[in-house]
Amino acid sequence: MRDLPDNLRKEVLSLQEWATANQHQARTDFIRFWALKLVAISSSALAALFTALELKIINTGLAAGAAVCVAIDGLYPGGTLHDVHLTAVYDLRDLASKSKRQYRRGVLNGEDPRKLEERILGEIQVERDRITKYLKDADTGLGKAKA
């Protein structure tokens, strides 16, 4: 990336950092989606087993634990933005890669590097705005659905 102008290089690095942050958030959303569900499923299965073994106290505790997990997950569903964050990761990485290729191709074709950089930075901003919008729409859409 040393061949890129300083502003464009910083912008590409910023896109890559944003992609990494979205990848982390997607992973967190995935874990959040399954955490309470897996506890509820295992507690329910163990409660059924302990019912067959006539261990009522353990069975009651496991059944109550499963019910609490289901209630919490129902009231505060997690992980619903996983796919949106993954889409952002792919879009941001693609944008960073495309911007570097576009600059290098333009220089090879004899375009004025300053004008080329300015045009690419403008295109990056348009894409940043689009990605920000769909992330915001997904996030606030969930807030409206919960309210």
Do 15 and 95 meet the contact criterion of CB atoms below 8 Å apart? yes
Do 135 and 83 meet the contact criterion of CB atoms below 8 Å apart? no
Helices within the chain (DSSP H only): 6-52, 56-75, 82-108, 113-146
Percent of the chain with pLDDT over 70: 96
The residues spanned by each domain of the chain are 6-146
26-84 pLDDT, tens digit each: 999 999 889 889 999 999 999 888 888 888 888 889 999 999 999 988 888 888 899 99
**From the CA atom positions of the chain, what is the Rg in Å?**
24
Average pLDDT, the chain: 91
- Other beta carbons within 10 Å of 138: 16
* Cα first-last separation, the chain: 46
